[in-house]
Amino acid sequence: MIRNKSIGALFASPWIVSFAVFWFFPLVYSLVLGFSDYRLLRPSYAWVGLENYFTLFSDQSFLVSLKNTFIFVIGTIPVTTAIALGLALLVNRNFVGRTIFRSAYFMPSVTSMIVVALVFTNLYSRGGYIYLLAEMLGFSPPPNGFLLSSSTALYAIMAMDVWMSVGYYMLLFLAGLKSIPVELYEAAEVNGAGAWQKFRYITLPLLKPVALFIIIINTIKSFQVFVEIFVMTRGRYGTSTAVYFIYEAGLSHFEFGYASAAAYVLFIIIAVFSLIQFRLFRQRPIW
Amino acid sequence: MVKFFKYTILILILLVMVFPLLWMFRISFMPADQGLSLSDFMSMAFTFDIYRDIFRGGGMVRYFLNSALVGLAVTAGNILFCFMTGYGLSRYKIIGQRFWFYSIIFVLMIPVHIIIIPLYLLVFKLGLYDTYAALILPFLVSPIGVFMVKQYIDSLPPSVEEAARMDGAGEFRILFKIVMPLCKPVLAVLAIQVFLVNWNSFLYPFILTSSDSLRTLPVGLALYQGHQAIDWPHLMAGSSLAVVPVLVIFWLFQKQIVSGITAGAIKQ
CATH code at A62? 1.10.3720.10
Q: Say if A114 falls within a structural domain.
A: yes
Q: Say if A5 falls within a structural domain.
A: no
One DSSP character per residue, B31-96 reads -TTS---S--TT-----SHHHHHHHTT-HHHHHHHHHHHHHHHHHHHHHHHHHHHHHHHHH---TT
Q: Identify the pLDDT of residue B264.
A: 59
* DSSP summary character for residue B177: I
Q: Say if A66 falls within a structural domain.
A: yes
Question: What is the distance in angstroms between the Cα of A117 and the nearest Cα belonging to chain B?
Answer: 9
Suggest the residue from B113, B165, B235, B239 to mutate for an interface test with chain A (most A CBs closer than 10 A).
B113
- B127 to chain A, any CB pair closer than 8 A? The answer is no
pLDDT tens for B119-141 read 999 999 899 999 999 999 999 99
Residue B35 has pLDDT above 70, yes or no: no
Give whichever of A71-80, B31-40, B171-180 has the largest mean pLDDT. A71-80
- A176 to chain B, any CB pair closer than 8 A? The answer is yes
- B113 to chain A, any CB pair closer than 8 A? The answer is yes
Asked whether B259 and B189 are in contact (CB, 8 A), the reply is yes
Residue A226 has pLDDT above 80, yes or no: yes
pLDDT tens for A231-268 read 999 999 999 999 999 999 999 899 999 999 999 999 99
Question: What is the distance in angstroms between the Cα of A218 and the nearest Cα belonging to chain B?
Answer: 11
For A11, the closest of B23, B84, B110 (CB atoms) is: B84
The verdict on a CB contact (< 8 Å) between A21 and B122 is: yes
Question: What is the distance in angstroms between the Cα of B152 and the nearest Cα belonging to chain A?
Answer: 16
- B2 to chain A, any CB pair closer than 8 A? The answer is no
Q: Identify the pLDDT of residue A1.
A: 42
Question: What is the distance in angstroms between the Cα of B267 and the nearest Cα belonging to chain A?
Answer: 10
- A283 to chain B, any CB pair closer than 8 A? The answer is no
Q: Say if A8 falls within a structural domain.
A: no
Which B residues 54-73 touch A at CB under 8 Å?
A: none
CB-CB neighbors (< 8 A) of B17 in chain A:
104-105, 107-108, 163, 167
- B202 to chain A, any CB pair closer than 8 A? The answer is yes
Q: What ipTM was assigned to the predicted interfaces of this complex?
A: 0.90
Q: Say if A265 falls within a structural domain.
A: yes
Q: Which residue of B has its CA nearest to A179?
A: B266
Whole-number mean pLDDT of chain B? 87
Q: Which residue of B has its CA nearest to A113?
A: B200
Query: What domains, with CATH codes, occur in chain B?
Result: 1-47 (no CATH), 58-267 (1.10.3720.10)
Residue B36 has pLDDT above 80, yes or no: no
- A1 to chain B, any CB pair closer than 8 A? The answer is yes
C-alpha angle B142-B90-B149 in degrees, rounded to nearest 5 = 40
* Inter-helix orientation angle A256-283/A25-33, to 10°: 120
The verdict on a CB contact (< 8 Å) between B19 and A12 is: no
Range of the domain at A149: 38-283
- A224 to chain B, any CB pair closer than 8 A? The answer is yes
Mean pLDDT, residues A189-209: 87
Count Cβ atoms within 10 A of the Cβ of residue A19 and give its class: 0-12 exposed, 13-18 middle, 19 or more buried.
buried
Suggest the residue from A11, A35, A247, A270 to mutate for an interface test with chain B (most B CBs closer than 10 A).
A11
Q: Say if A7 falls within a structural domain.
A: no
Q: Say if A45 falls within a structural domain.
A: yes
- Domain count of chain A? 1
Q: Which residue of B has its CA nearest to A229?
A: B222
d(CA A274, CA A220): 8
Suggest the residue from B12, B14, B17 to mutate for an interface test with chain A (most A CBs closer than 10 A).
B17
One DSSP character per residue, B118-148 reads HHHHHHHHTT-TTSHHHHHGGGSS-HHHHHH
Q: Which residue of A has its CA nearest to B11?
A: A101
A84 pLDDT band, cuts 50/70/90, is: very high
Question: What is the distance in angstroms between the Cα of A11 and the nearest Cα belonging to chain B?
Answer: 5
The verdict on a CB contact (< 8 Å) between A101 and B9 is: no
Beta bridge partners of A47: A36
Listed in sequence order, the residues at least 6 apart from A28 whose beta carbon sits closer than 8 Å to its beta carbon are none
Mean pLDDT, residues B75-102: 90
pLDDT tens for A140-153 read 888 888 999 899 99
Q: Which residue of A has its CA nearest to B168?
A: A2
Asked whether B63 and B216 are in contact (CB, 8 A), the reply is yes
